[in-house]
Amino acid sequence: DIQLTQSPSFLSASVGDRITITCRASQGIGSYLGWYQQKPGKAPKILIYAASTLYSGVPSRFSGSGFGTEFTLTISSLQPEDFASYYCQHLNNYSTFGGGTKVEIK
């Protein structure tokens, strides 16, 4: 089984900050990595798929990069609505998810 490890688990930041979240895969997965945003009590929303492709309607301050075993999600300028949890997902028929990163207001 491929495991996904996210870091950090918690991140305190201010509006306007640039933040980066990392997701590491236990084996190479090419570009088959997605990122989701989840707010309390709500279903996740897809942000990025294929490691770096922005899903339709997602603001351009979100970006993704990486290939193989190491991937990053970057928010270039944190907005108030971005304080949420973020999850990476291995994109295949047996999807696994990372443990999540909670982004909190500093």
Partner 1 sequence: QVRLQESGPGLVQPSDTLSLTCSVSGSSINKVEYYWGWLRQPPGQRLEYIGSIYYTGTTYYNPSLKSRVTISVDPSTFRYSLHLSAVTAADTAVYYCARRSTGWFYFDIWGPGALVTVSS
Contact set for partner 1, span 42-101 (CB under 8 A): 42-46, 49-50, 53, 55, 87, 89, 91-100
CB 13 within 8 A of CB 78: yes
**Strand partners of residue 21:** 73
Minimum Å gap between C-beta 20 and partner 1 is 20
From the list 2, 13, 22, 32, which residue makes contact with partner 1 (rule: CB under 8 A)? Answer: 32
Report the nearest approach of partner 1 to the CB of residue 94 (Å): 6
Please state, in angstroms and rounded to a whole number, the distance separating the CA atoms of residues 12 and 76.
15
Tokens of 85: 């949890």
Q: Are 100 and 35 in contact (CB under 8 A)?
A: no
By CB under 8 A, name the binding residues for partner 1: 1, 32, 34, 36, 42-46, 49-50, 53, 55, 87, 89, 91-100
